[in-house]
Amino acid sequence: QKVSSKENPDIIVGANQLDKYIDLLKGKNVAIVGNNTSVIFKKGKSNSNYAHLVDSLLTLGIKVTKGFAPEHGFRGVEDAGEIILDSKDKKTGVSVVSLYGDNYKPS
């Protein structure tokens, strides 16, 4: 989906350029550093005009094995300053490693 702006009316969010990267992910174990803004915009009208990148990749058969979550967590539901622990994403079961607290980057 194109995102309009005065500076550049043809900006397309990277996640929405599936044709440029989906083949590179097929057959591989994939980890995502993401949060609630890591989304793919859907075409057309629906109740929700976007889906989390991990949900979309899993639906397309990509093997997402791990997520890394900054402040506010993987889906952005934790409060500011809240301790984020390693966990599993409730929706997908993907293991999520916290990047907020003691670790600010993957080890």
Segments making up each domain of the chain, as ranges: 2-98
Can you name the residues that pair with 3 across neighbouring β-strands? 11
The CATH number that domain 2-98 falls under is 3.40.50.12170
9 pLDDT more than 80: no
Q: Which of 18, 19, 15 is nearest to 37 (CA)?
A: 15
What pLDDT sits at residue 8?
63
106 pLDDT more than 70: no
Angle (CA) 66-27-90 rounded to 5° is: 30
81 pLDDT more than 80: no
Indicate the pTM of the whole model.
0.76
**C-alpha dihedral sign at 19, 25, 26, 32:** negative
Altogether, the residues listed in the chain come to a count of 107
* Range of 7-16, 35-44, 98-107 with top mean pLDDT: 35-44
5 pLDDT more than 70: no
- Which has more confidence, 103 or 6? 103
